[in-house]
Each structure stands twice: as structure tokens, then as C-alpha cells.
Chain A
Amino acid sequence: MRNKEKNSETSDLMRKKKFNLKEGFFLSLIRTLGFTGAVILFIILFFVAYNGIHILSWEFITQPPVDAMTKGGIFPVIVGTILLTALCMIIVVPIGVITAIFLAEYSKPGVLLKTVMMSIYTLAGVPSVVFGLFGLAVFVVAFNFGMSLLAGSLTLAVMILPYIISTSEEAIKTVPYSFKEASFACGATKWQTIRKVVLPTAMPGILTGGILGTAKVSGETAPIMFTAAAFFTPGVPRSLFEPLMALPYHIYVLATSGTHIEETRPIQYGTALTLIVLVLGMNLLGIILRSRQRKKKAW
């Protein structure tokens, strides 16, 4: 009986609070604003998909552009982006993982470590167009690679390095200390432990970071504008030292500086849709893998 009274009392109190005007106003304001990002995502996705879906076909993604890029497909453009991204990842993942091993396992607290951390932190905030300038001055001019696949991949690698380092470091840091203790107890050295215990355990996390990094890299335009991307190339690049066409730059060029901006509108939508599918698909894959890993973790 007493319990019941108490219950009704609390529920009265709660109802009072629920209908408190200020409380309700702010909570619903935040609730509404909280969905802005998701709503914008869907609006843009819907718009690009609606306009681009009818141009997307097997021919569109397997044929090269023809008639001054007003017709035909975007096959070399897709291949260019894939090559650029793949080479970038081949370059950056080993360096990023080794740096992460350094930060997580070998570094000693002090000025040097602080310098490294601060550099990574700063690199993460440098604008992408500044990486483009850096790539132009160093890889294109000083190393004499010219506007090429190699120069573009290196520039993108420098840009994505902080991201790969921090995702790998986080993956390595989640390996429980008891795993390492067990390995040491078996007589393994530090490097053996890292190679045989720490890295295999952290590998799913590192790979997920790599996939999310790949998604970021493949959508970047500014760093490749002066280092790799060309308005038009006759086909796929045949060596590391040839320029290439890439999806993001292709959209930019067709939408702003072509002589047939209106005529190529469908191709622009199709290219944008292809890029979005590529980037968001990889992103989604990474997010799903990551959440599955978090749930699956047995320790």
C-alpha cells in the first residue's frame, strides 16, 4: 500500500517535470537538431542517386570516355582512383603500423615522444591543399616524378599517415597486457612478442582503420590536383610515372572547367554516384567490421 502511494507520488513528480516548459523546449530542440546531419546525408544521397542511377550501367563503368568526354564511360577514371588509393595504402600502412608500434611499445615518456605526438597531431590538422603544395614541391619537382601516379600516391600517403597511426595505435593498445605477459613467460623476446602476439591480435583493428582510411583517401581531390590528376588521359596509366584520371577530380573538371558543362551533367551525376558508392560502401564496411570486432572481443 505504502509502496503504491510512493509510486504515484513519484509519477506525479515525473509528470510535472515532463511538462516543464523549458525542459521540454530544450530537449526537443536538441532532439530535432540532432538529426540534421543524418537528414542532410539522406538528402544529398537521394539527390545524387536519383539523378545518377539511370546513367549508371555496365557500359558506363567499363568504357572509356569518348567525344571530348561528353559520352562514353569512366573506366580509366575508376581504375585511376583504385590504383592511386591502393598504392597509397601500400606505402602508408607499413609506416603507420610501425609508428604505432613505436608509440605503443617502444617509446619512453619524454621530450622526444612529445615531439612525435605533437607532429602527428599537427599533421592531422594540415589542410589537404597544403599537402598538395607539399607534394608538388617535393615529389613532383624536387624528386622529379612529374605529375604521376607515384607522386599522387605519396602525397595522399603523407596526408593519411596520422589517421593510420592513430587507428593502429588504438588497435595495438587494446591488446591485453596479460597476452604479452604470457608470451614473455614462454621466453619470447619483445620483438617476437610483438610480431607473434600483439600484431596478430591487433590485426583486425588495424585493417579496419586501413579500410576507413582508404575510404577517406579515395574521395580526396585537393592533394592530387597538382600531383597526379590530369584533365584527360588516353587510358589507364601504364607506369608509376604517368598522370591519371581520378573520380573526384573528374567530377570537379567536368562540373567547372569543361566546355560542355551542361552536356556532361549526366556523366557528372554518374561519376559522383560511383564515387559515393565507393567511399560510403567502404566506410560502411569499416564501420560494420569495427562494431562486430567490439562485440566479438572475448577478453
Chain B
Amino acid sequence: MALKWQTREKAVEIIVTSVGFLSVIVLLLIGFFLFKEAFYIFYKAGVLKVLFGTAWYPTYEPPSFGMFPLIMGTVAVTVLTAIMAIPLGLATAVYIAEIAHYKVKEILKPLVEMLASFPSVVLGFFGMVVIAPILSSWLSPIISERLPELLRSTNLPFVSTTLADMCYDKLFIASGLNISTAALMLSVRAIPIISSIAEDALTAVPRTYREASYSLGASKWETIWRVVIPSSVSGLSVAVILGIGTIIGETMIVLMVAGGAAVIPLWIFDPARPMPSAIAAEMAEAPYQSLHYHALFGVGAILFLITFLLSLISDFVSRKYRAIRIGEKI
């Protein structure tokens, strides 16, 4: 009889442990299947030619699978989004963690959390039907016609000629579906993610640090800027890295509002086809096991590698900082 419960305990332990390893297996399977399907395109077309080829014409005859425009599309929207979302996300975190009255905090925190779970397809839809028309039919005439006129009428040496012409050329928005619109909507996605991880990092700074700073006569802002932020910098970097990871992988928003042209964007109002949107838009049309199918898995494999690398970096950064629980924030 004694043996019986011991056997059962052992059996339970074995079952629980093997289920526990399921996530390792799943991750390995994801990597395996992605690279298995992606291998063929790199083998057939050559790694360098695929990565740095500038022509993405998957349906032409003969097809061309240069992923460089897609990669640059992702880089462009990510940089633009990061410029907007990182300061706003961190500011929100600082406000919630350090400045806000606790009653404001109790309302603002759930609101930010709700924004984080907002379906991205609705954000894309909003970008398409609201932001894009505003940009192309309202903002564009103002900044590319009225503004140059105004500048010309000043009759100043540089302003009325060069600057006015530059505005006229560069600020004309041909289509509202471009990387700026995508970056705006991606910021909405990234701000709550950055802010909730960053807020955890700020809250984890011991209260004694702040008290010591105040007792030395530092003001509130001095305490935040010189004490709280420097001592939580590793957690804040994790927030930024994971925010960037989210931006790179976000699909629906770039699919709906980035414009979709597989060219290297050279200006903020150019359209682009970032990597996730290429996969989402073309997978349905790519015949099974065709070169196009493999090429799209190749794009997926690159995305997977990038996010894997970002996870490794953020894990490395947060070695000393164990309070955040990453799985919850994404």
C-alpha cells in the first residue's frame, strides 16, 4: 500500500514535468518548421541575393525574391514608431508610477491596460478610415501648398526659395496609406506595452531611495530624473526592447495602413511593405510548396530570428532585475 501512493506521486511528477517541457518543444517545433520551409529559398536563390536583393516581384516570370525592401520597410516603420512611442510610453510610466495621485492611477492603469489589449485590426481600420484621409486630404494641402505660399511671401533669402520649394516637394502626401500613418497607429499599440513594463520597473525601485533623495533636499523632478530613472534603467531598457519587438512583429496595422508597395521607403510619406504585412498579404495567394511559399517562410524565419535575438538581449539586460513578468505584458 505504501508503494502505491509513492508511485502515484512519482507518476504525477513525471507527467507535470513533461508537460512543463512542452513549451520548449513548441519553440523548437516553430524554429524547425520555419527554417525547414525557409531553407529552400535561401538554397535556391542564395542567401545574399535574397537578403539584399532590391526587387520583390514574387509573381513575375521569372520571379525575384529580394527581401531588402521588406526589411527596410520594417526598419522604417520601427524607427518612426520608436521616435513617437518610446518617449510617450516612458512618460506614461513615469506619470503612473511617480506623479499621479493614487485615485488617478487606479483609473489610468486599467485604461492603459485596455489599450494594450485593443484588437490591432480595429487600430488598422481606424488608421484606414480616419487617419489616412486626414493626412492626405486635410494635412497635405496645408503643409505642401499653403505653407510654401506663406514662406514665399516672406521674401527672406533662404526661406522664400529653397525652404518653400522643399516643403512643396517633400510635404505633399500622395496617399494617406504610408509609413507615417502606420507609425502613428503602431505607436498606439506600443505605448501601453512599453509603459506597463516600464511602470513595473519604476515601482520596483525601493522607496528608501526616494526618501534618501528627498531628505537631501532634492525636488520631485530631481528625484525622478537623478535617482529613480537611473536605478531602474535596466528595466526601462527591457521595456523599450520588448516594445520594439512588438512593433516589428505587429501585422494587421502595417498590413492595412502601410501602403503595401514593396519599395524601399526613402521619405516619411512613402508607402512600404514591412515583413509581417508581406507574409499576411501574400500567403493566401502563394501556391503550396512554390518558391513564393518558401520565400514567405523565409521572411517569417527572419522575423523569428529578430524577435528571438531581442528576447535574448532583454533577458541579458534584465539579469539583475527579476521583478518583471514578461509573458503578461505582450
User: Which A residues are CB-close (under 8 A) to B55?
Assistant: none
A125-140 vs B, Cβ < 8 Å mask (1 yes, 0 no): 1111111111011100
Residues A215 and B20 in contact, CB atoms below 8 Å apart: no
CA distance A101 to B17 in the complex (A): 9
Q: Which of B26, B123, B326 contacts A121 (CB 8 A)?
A: B326
Residues B311 and A125 in contact, CB atoms below 8 Å apart: yes
**B48: CB under 8 A from chain A?**
no
User: Which A residues are CB-close (under 8 A) to B311?
Assistant: 118, 121-122, 124-125
Contacting B at CB under 8 A, from A260-287, are 265, 268, 272, 275-276, 279-280, 283-284, 287
Q: Which of B19, B94, B126, B288 contacts A48 (CB 8 A)?
A: B126
Residues B34 and A134 in contact, CB atoms below 8 Å apart: yes
B222 CB, min distance to chain A CBs, angstroms: 8
Contacting A at CB under 8 A, from B64-112, are 87-88, 91-92, 94-96, 99-100, 108, 110-112
**B230: CB under 8 A from chain A?**
no
- Indicate whether A37 sits within 8 Å of B221 (C-beta atoms), given known contacts A130-B34, A165-B23, A284-B110: no
Residues A123 and B27 in contact, CB atoms below 8 Å apart: yes
Residues B33 and A138 in contact, CB atoms below 8 Å apart: yes
Q: Which of B17, B95, B192, B325 contacts A33 (CB 8 A)?
A: B95
- Indicate whether A37 sits within 8 Å of B249 (C-beta atoms), given known contacts A129-B300, A283-B113: no
Chain B minimum-CB-distance residue to A115: B24
Residues A283 and B117 in contact, CB atoms below 8 Å apart: yes
**B304: CB under 8 A from chain A?**
yes
A136 CB, min distance to chain B CBs, angstroms: 7
Most chain-B Cβ atoms within 10 A of its Cβ — which of A23, A102, A249? A102
A235-251 vs B, Cβ < 8 Å mask (1 yes, 0 no): 00000000000001101
User: Which B residues are CB-close (under 8 A) to A48?
Assistant: 122, 126
Residues A40 and B220 in contact, CB atoms below 8 Å apart: no
Stretch at the interface among B163-171, B261-269, B279-287: B279-287
Chain B minimum-CB-distance residue to A51: B129
Q: Which of A30, A103, A133 contacts B91 (CB 8 A)?
A: A30
- Indicate whether A106 sits within 8 Å of B20 (C-beta atoms), given known contacts A127-B276, A133-B296: yes
**B142: CB under 8 A from chain A?**
no
Residues B119 and A248 in contact, CB atoms below 8 Å apart: yes
User: Which B residues are CB-close (under 8 A) to A132?
Assistant: 279-280, 283
Most chain-B Cβ atoms within 10 A of its Cβ — which of A38, A99, A219, A275? A38
Interface size bracket, B side: 35 or more
Residues B23 and A99 in contact, CB atoms below 8 Å apart: yes
Residues B120 and A23 in contact, CB atoms below 8 Å apart: no
User: Which B residues are CB-close (under 8 A) to A130?
Assistant: 30, 34, 249, 300, 303-304, 307
User: Which A residues are CB-close (under 8 A) to B16?
Assistant: 98, 101-102, 105-106
Residues B126 and A163 in contact, CB atoms below 8 Å apart: no
CA distance A29 to B88 in the complex (A): 10
User: Which B residues are CB-close (under 8 A) to A38?
Assistant: 108, 111-112, 115
- Indicate whether A137 sits within 8 Å of B245 (C-beta atoms), given known contacts A30-B95, A41-B111: no
A269 CB, min distance to chain B CBs, angstroms: 9
**B61: CB under 8 A from chain A?**
no
User: Which A residues are CB-close (under 8 A) to B296?
Assistant: 133
Contacting B at CB under 8 A, from A210-246, are 212, 215-216, 219-222, 225-226
- Indicate whether A287 sits within 8 Å of B30 (C-beta atoms), given known contacts A27-B221, A36-B92, A162-B23: no
Residues A103 and B20 in contact, CB atoms below 8 Å apart: yes
**A252: CB under 8 A from chain B?**
yes
CA distance A258 to B15 in the complex (A): 49
Residues A215 and B30 in contact, CB atoms below 8 Å apart: no
Residues B33 and A219 in contact, CB atoms below 8 Å apart: no
Residues A287 and B110 in contact, CB atoms below 8 Å apart: yes
**B60: CB under 8 A from chain A?**
no
Additional A-B contacts beyond A33-B95, A276-B119, A283-B113 (18; CB < 8 A): A23-B219, A23-B221, A27-B221, A29-B91, A33-B88, A36-B92, A44-B188, A116-B20, A122-B308, A126-B307, A127-B251, A132-B279, A162-B330, A170-B328, A191-B8, A191-B12, A191-B13, A216-B117
**28 residue pairs bridging A and B, Cβ less than 8 Å apart:** A27-B99, A30-B99, A37-B191, A101-B16, A120-B327, A121-B326, A122-B311, A122-B312, A123-B27, A126-B30, A127-B248, A130-B300, A133-B33, A134-B34, A137-B297, A138-B33, A141-B288, A162-B23, A162-B330, A163-B328, A170-B325, A190-B9, A190-B13, A212-B117, A215-B117, A248-B119, A252-B256, A255-B125
